[in-house]
Amino acid sequence: MRVTFTANGRPVEADDVWEGESLLHVLRERVGLPGSKNACEQGECGSCTVYLDGVPVCACLVAAGQAQGREVRTVEGLGPGDGGLGLVQQAFVDAGAVQCGFCTPGLLVQTDALLARDPRPSDADIREALSGNLCRCTGYEKIMDAVRLASARAGAGREVTG
C-alpha cells in the first residue's frame, strides 16, 4: 500500500509498504530518515521515539498505515534546520551524554518533549520521563547532566529574550 504523511514538516510518500510494517521501518528504510534507531522492536528501549501528531511514541509500535496523513517529527527534525544542533542535542554533546549513540535519538526526542511540557523538571521528573529509554553505556548520570544543562540553558535563553 501507499503511505503518505508529513515528516519534519516535509510531505513524504512510500510505496509498496507491507500492511503490517511499522512506522519505524518506513522512516528508516523508505523515506531516508534513519536517525530513529531500531533496537528492540517491542517498545522496551525507546530508541525509536518520535513525535506522532505532537505526542512522543515508539515508532516501532505504530503501524505505518496509522501514520497516513499525520505529522511525524523525528530526531532529524529537532535541529534548527541548517545542519546545526538544537539546544537539547548540544547539551547532550557538551555533557558527554553520548557514547555509542544508539539510544541517543530516542532520548533527545523524549527530553525535548519533557522540557516542552516542564521547562524545569526535578530529577525525579527527569527519571520518570526517561524511564522508557534504555542506555547501556553511560549509566545515565551524564544523561541526567545533559537534561539539567538543557533545562538551564533554555531558562537562561528565556530570561534574555523575555
Partner 1 sequence: MEFLRPATWDEALAAKAGHPDALPLAGGTDVMVELNFDLRRPPAILDLTRVGELTGWSRDGAVVRLGAAVPYSRIIAELSGPLPGLTLAARTVGSPQIRNRGTVGGNLGAASPAGDCHPPLLAAGRDVLVEAASVRGTRLIPIDAFYTGVKRNALAADELIRAVRIPAADGPQQFSKVGTRNAMVIAVCAFALALHPRTGTVGTGIGSAAPTPRRAVEAEDYLGAVLAERGLWESGEPPDAGVLRRFGELVTAAADPIDDVRGSAGYRRHALAVMARRTLTWAWNDYRRQIRGAP
Q: Which is nearer to partner 1, 30 or 90 (CB)?
A: 30
Binding window for partner 1 (CB under 8 A); candidates: 4-12, 56-64, 78-86, 143-151: 56-64
Contact 134, 45 (CB under 8 A): yes
Contact set for partner 1, span 102-131 (CB under 8 A): 110, 128-129, 131
Nearer to partner 1, 1 or 156 (CB): 1
Residue 161 backbone dihedrals phi, psi, to 5 degrees = -80, -25
Is residue 144 a contact residue for partner 1 (CB under 8 A)? no
In angstroms, the CA 159 to CA 162 distance is 5
62 touches partner 1 (CB under 8 A): yes
Smallest gap from Cβ 156 to partner 1, in A, equals 26
- Extract the C-alpha cell encoding 50: 518520535
- Measured in degrees and rounded to the nearest 5, phi and psi for residue 107 equal -65, -35
* Residues whose CB is less than 8 angstroms from the CB of residue 117 and which lie 6 or more positions away in sequence, other chains included: none
For the chain, how big is the Rg over CA atoms in Å?
16
Residue located via cell numbers 557538551: 94
Determine, following the binding rule CB under 8 A, whether residue 89 of this chain makes contact with partner 1: no
- Binding residues (CB under 8 A) for partner 1: these are 1, 18-20, 22, 41-44, 46, 49, 55-58, 60-63, 65-66, 68, 110, 128-129, 131-133
